[in-house]
Amino acid sequence: MKTDDLINALAADTATQKRPISQTIALAIATGCIVSAALLIGHLGVRTGLVETIMQSWHLVTKIAFTLALAIPAYFIVQRAARPDGEAQSLWPLLAIAPAMLLAAVGFEFMTGANDDVSNVIMSPNWSVCVIHIPLLSMAPLAAVLCALKQGAPANPTLAGAFGGLFSAALGSVLYATFCDADNPMFVAVWYTVAILAMTALGALLGSRILRW
């Protein structure tokens, strides 16, 4: 095929314009978020007295702030990772905010010495509920994000998938945090991290398979 022939074909194909990729991603994420929120409300239910507890407990505030501090930068990184020239790396440092915050909270918790038994806090019976439900609540956002990224042209498919996984896990954690009543930063640092890293790895694996273009 001659290049001029290809130009004829491409020029005749102008009507099949897709909506801009940033809109596709935003729409997909909104959809995934609604599905997961419905799942949360229908299946788990928001914990009683959520608002009152936020007023009283810095643990709960830290937990929700941690998940939001992860989800928000991850969203903008996913937006950039979907484009060949997105240069997502310049936003990576923002992801350090959430772990730094959580580590500080864990340190503070140790210093105040309010916990007589650390292993009791970490191995609280909630841990299995947590590592199952965060991925569960992340599934719809992950599927939506990957479908949207498939429409894009990620410079690095594996990384784009990983950030898709990270974002959906962070979103799942935001939602789960409103149900789960294990608020101690040490519990969050262990089990939320495990769940989020697992979803990030899953995203990377799927991304390397399906996001090539």
Partner 1 sequence: MCAAIGGDEAAYRKLLADLSRALRPIVRRGFAGVTAAQSEVEDVVQEVMLAIHLKRHTWDQTKPIGPWIMAISRNKMIDDLRRKGRRGEVPIDGMMDLLEAGGHEDAIHAHDVNRVLDGLTGKNREIVQAITLDGHSARDVAERLGMTEVAVRVSLHRSLKALAQVYQETKT
3-state helix, strand, coil in the chain (%, to 5): 80, 0, 20
Is 93 a binding residue for partner 1 by CB under 8 A? The answer is no
Is 19 a binding residue for partner 1 by CB under 8 A? The answer is yes
Burial of 125 (0-12, 13-18, 19+ CB in 10 A): exposed
Q: Considering only residues 73, 135, 141, 152, which one is a binding residue for partner 1 as defined by CB under 8 A?
A: 152
- Tell me the C-alpha distance between 199 and 162, whole Å: 8
Is 43 a binding residue for partner 1 by CB under 8 A? The answer is no
Q: Considering only residues 153, 194, 198, 201, which one is a binding residue for partner 1 as defined by CB under 8 A?
A: 153
Residue 117 Rama label (left phi>0; alpha psi -120 to 50; beta):
beta
Two structure tokens written together for 140? 């719809």
Is 7 a binding residue for partner 1 by CB under 8 A? The answer is yes
Is 52 a binding residue for partner 1 by CB under 8 A? The answer is no
Is 17 a binding residue for partner 1 by CB under 8 A? The answer is yes
Two structure tokens written together for 171? 């979103």
For residue 153, give the 3-state DSSP assignment.
coil
Is 155 a binding residue for partner 1 by CB under 8 A? The answer is yes
Q: Give the number of residues in contact with partner 1, rule: CB under 8 A.
A: 35
Q: Considering only residues 31, 58, 76, 83, which one is a binding residue for partner 1 as defined by CB under 8 A?
A: 83
For residue 174, give the 3-state DSSP assignment.
helix
Nearer to partner 1, 18 or 119 (CB): 18
Which residues form the interface with partner 1 (CB under 8 A)? 1, 3-22, 24, 82-85, 89, 151-153, 155-156, 209, 212-213
